[in-house]
């Protein structure tokens, strides 16, 4: 049995889900008020200021031998392989 998985160190750009907006990228801003028609509720979506609406926060660039090592360090991460440009 031959193991074809080569373990060549790879560089990844690591992003994790934004904790401030739970990865949504936006916050619902609720305004209550009263006008001529009575009380109203105005819900507007605002971009999260932590992740600037991306839903992800950039952690940095790190080198790993394989993707599973990376995922064990950053279980909730979304990463991009620098060389292949593939997201995982």
**Residues near Zn ion (CB under 5 A):** 18, 20-21, 48, 50-51
Kindly report the CA angle at 46 between 26 and 28, in degrees rounded to 5?
A: 70
Burial of 62 (0-12, 13-18, 19+ CB in 10 A): middle
> Which of residues 10 and 16 has its CB atom nearest to Zn ion in the complex?
16
Q: How far is the CB of 20 from Zn ion (least distance, A)?
A: 4
Query: At residue 43, what are phi and psi to the nearest 5 degrees?
Result: -105, 120
Q: Cβ closer to Zn ion: 14 or 51?
A: 51
Q: Which of residues 11 and 20 has its CB atom nearest to Zn ion in the complex?
A: 20
In the complex, what is the shortest distance from the CB of residue 48 to Zn ion, in angstroms, rounded to a whole number?
3
């Amino acid at each position: 049995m031959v193991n074809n998985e080569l373990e060549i160190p790879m560089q990844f750009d690591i992003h994790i889900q934004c904790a401030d907006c739970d990865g949504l990228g936006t916050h619902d801003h609720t305004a209550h008020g009263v006008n001529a028609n009575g009380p109203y509720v105005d819900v507007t979506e605002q971009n999260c200021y932590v992740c600037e609406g991306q839903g992800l926060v950039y952690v940095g660039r790190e080198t790993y031998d394989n993707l599973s090592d990376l995922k064990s360090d950053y279980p909730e991460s979304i990463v991009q392989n620098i060389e292949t440009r593939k997201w995982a």
